[in-house]
Amino acid sequence: MTEAGHGNGGALVVEWMRSRGLDTFFHVPGESFLPVLDALLDVPSIRVITARHEGGAAFAAEAFGKLTGRPAVCMATRGPGAANLSIGIQTAHYDGTPMIALLGLVPRRLQGSGAFQEVDPVSMFAPIAKTVLVVNALDALIPVLDQARSTALAGRPGPAVVGFPADVLFETAAAGVPALYAGPGVPARFDPEVILTRLRAARRPVILAATEAVRGATAEALKDLAEATGVPVYCSWRRFSCFDNDHELFAGSVGLGAAAAVTEALAEADLVLCFGFALEQVTCESARLGSAGTHVIQFAPATDPRVPRYLPGTEVEQVISDPRHAAQALAAAVRETRSSRRIRATIRNERPAQAPCGAAGEQAVRMEHVMSCLDAMLPADAIVTSDAGNFAQWMLRHIGFGGQRTFIGPLNGAMGYGLPAAVGAGVAASGRPCWVLAGDGGFAMLEAEMETAARLGLSVVACVFDNGLYGTIRARQEQAFPGRAFGTDTGRVDFAAAARAHGWLGWTAEKDASVETVLAEVSAATGCRLAHFIVEPFPLAV
């Protein structure tokens, strides 16, 4: 039949993946999709990554999509497997990441009977996916999968979920996979001169970027626009690496824990040019974009219906245009209009004073100290994946993403993301060092994926910041109920020993004085490594 071989529905799924360029498949095996696994055995061009938990598989697929702009496929079986997969699907939905999530389902004859592990995928996933489709006839399999792929990539990207009754995958397939029609790209639907007229009239214009994590053609276009106009550039929430942090016009990143000088400067802007889907809740609120008199223009492949909810009463234009094309058109128009005045706004990216590496501390490791040391030692081409958690506020304040450093983190605040995301990043960008930054609470949630990283031979460094707390929640608890901390403590885990049990190298630092030495040894080693930092117990107020 094809490279996939065996002539059943499972083989047809695999041949569709191969023909559409979907070359990476994350999964936890399930009996409901054994024909897919059997067909994958004969297609070595598709990388198959077996995770330890469906949540880890979905997070890895989401990170792959963030890093490459291309969807990976993740797959799980019905019921419990589907439920576990859902956390990564919701992350992709919230973060706007392309993903194809496949589910094995009960056979068609048992649908609606409450059979073993039966789940209704439409009811389960409709609120957290762009589309949910079920293939109930073999001749619909390829059209449904093509619809899912198109939906995942169109407009604001996101996850498409497709369910396959197990008997459809076992059914004999007569036809192969037809060629795919390539539709038109996103047209530019704006007049650059109209935007430039507003730019010339603005007193404090800014650029807010929410584009690709890996800087490429879009980042270059934004740099050209910034340099042509002198307008400062901010990175939106957890899009910290989409603009070179070392550039003179980089003004800072916004979000939870951002420096006050950064948010104060942004709040004074009267014109905000957004590139990509920048206008989500955390960015809008932390940057105070709803200030009276602010005009906001967003260039993105589609309109975002959430924006009026986050910026009530603010003048917002949503321009349907590819962000790169929009930035290129605006930069070209500026250069063609020699009379266009150059704007040199005040850059107020004021980072806190860096704690010197090697400074001795009497108590546990200070977060500002370890983050400063990390900033000095992180490779220039590191991919940094981050969990959600209180530790991330220090990361935002102390770690820069200049050079080729790339940041990947969950906008939706999902704990447990960092480690499996590094697996996905390591698969997507072989050869680049991947560093995980996580708190003890989040890292422990999917700690088993250390074995996955070791089995794949990846180069992953995990930095676990252990304060024995669910730190963000403790901070909120202390604000709401002072002196009544309860239910937010955790027990201590020897993460370095756990790392060694999974085939990693492990170190522990309990005081400031040992941080630099530990990081130096971690950096000099190879393979999978973990640094366990016993940090101060009291979380930063959020």
pLDDT in tens, 190-200: 889 889 888 98
Q: How far apart (Å, rounded) are the C-alpha atoms in residues 412 and 77? A: 24
Mark residue 324 as left, alpha or beta (left: phi above 0; alpha: psi -120 to 50; beta: remaining). Answer: alpha
- Provide the pLDDT for residue 260: 85
The 10 Å CB-count burial string (b at 16+, else e) for 409-421 is bbbbbbbbbbbbb
Nearest to 74 by CA among 53, 58, 50: 58
Phi, psi of 317 (to 5 degrees): -115, 135
What is the enclosing helix (H) or strand (E) of 87? helix 80-95
- Provide the pLDDT for residue 5: 43
What long-range pairs does 335-339 form, CB within 8 A, spacing at least 24? 335/228, 337/193, 337/196
C-alpha neighbours within 13 Å on the C-beta side of residue 226: 26
Lowest-confidence region among 109-118, 367-376, 528-537: 109-118
Q: How far apart (Å, rounded) are the C-alpha atoms in residues 440 and 472? A: 12
Q: How far apart (Å, rounded) are the C-alpha atoms in residues 45 and 23? A: 7
What long-range pairs does 117-122 form, CB within 8 A, spacing at least 24? 117/77, 117/78, 117/79, 117/80, 117/81, 118/78, 118/79, 119/78, 119/79, 119/82, 119/83, 121/82, 121/161, 121/163
Q: How far apart (Å, rounded) are the C-alpha atoms in residues 71 and 63? A: 10
Burial of 195 (0-12, 13-18, 19+ CB in 10 A): buried
Q: How far apart (Å, rounded) are the C-alpha atoms in residues 25 and 46? A: 7
Average pLDDT over residues 170-198: 77
CATH 3.40.50.970 fits 367-534, yes or no: yes
- Provide the pLDDT for residue 293: 76
- Computed on alpha carbons and rounded to an integer, the radius of gyration of the chain in Å comes to 24
Tokens linked to 329 = 């058109």
Query: What is the share, in percent, of the chain residues with pLDDT greater than 70?
Result: 91
Nearest to 440 by CA among 536, 338, 297: 536
CATH of 192-336, one of 3.40.980.10, 3.40.309.10, 3.30.70.360, 3.40.50.1220: 3.40.50.1220
Average pLDDT over residues 76-91: 96
- Provide the pLDDT for residue 351: 45
For the chain, give the mean pLDDT. 89
- Provide the pLDDT for residue 540: 54
CATH of 9-170, one of 2.60.220.30, 3.40.50.2300, 3.40.50.970, 3.30.70.370: 3.40.50.970
- pLDDT higher than 50, residue 233: yes
- Provide the pLDDT for residue 48: 98
Task: Specify the domain boundaries for CATH 3.40.50.970 within the chain.
Answer: 9-170, 367-534
Chain centre to alpha carbon of residue 364: 31
Residue 248, number of CB atoms within 10 A of its CB: 11
Burial of 214 (0-12, 13-18, 19+ CB in 10 A): buried
Tokens linked to 351 = 């980072």
- Provide the pLDDT for residue 355: 42
User: Is pLDDT larger for residue 358 or for residue 473?
Assistant: 473
User: Tens of pLDDT along 365-417?
Assistant: 999 999 999 999 999 999 999 999 889 989 998 999 998 999 999 999 899 99
Q: How far apart (Å, rounded) are the C-alpha atoms in residues 533 and 74? A: 33
- pLDDT higher than 90, residue 175: no
pTM score, two decimals? 0.86
User: To the nearest 10°, the Cα dihedral for 51, 52, 53, 57?
Assistant: -10
Task: Specify the domain boundaries for CATH 3.40.50.1220 within the chain.
Answer: 192-336
Nearest to 317 by CA among 341, 294, 288, 283: 294
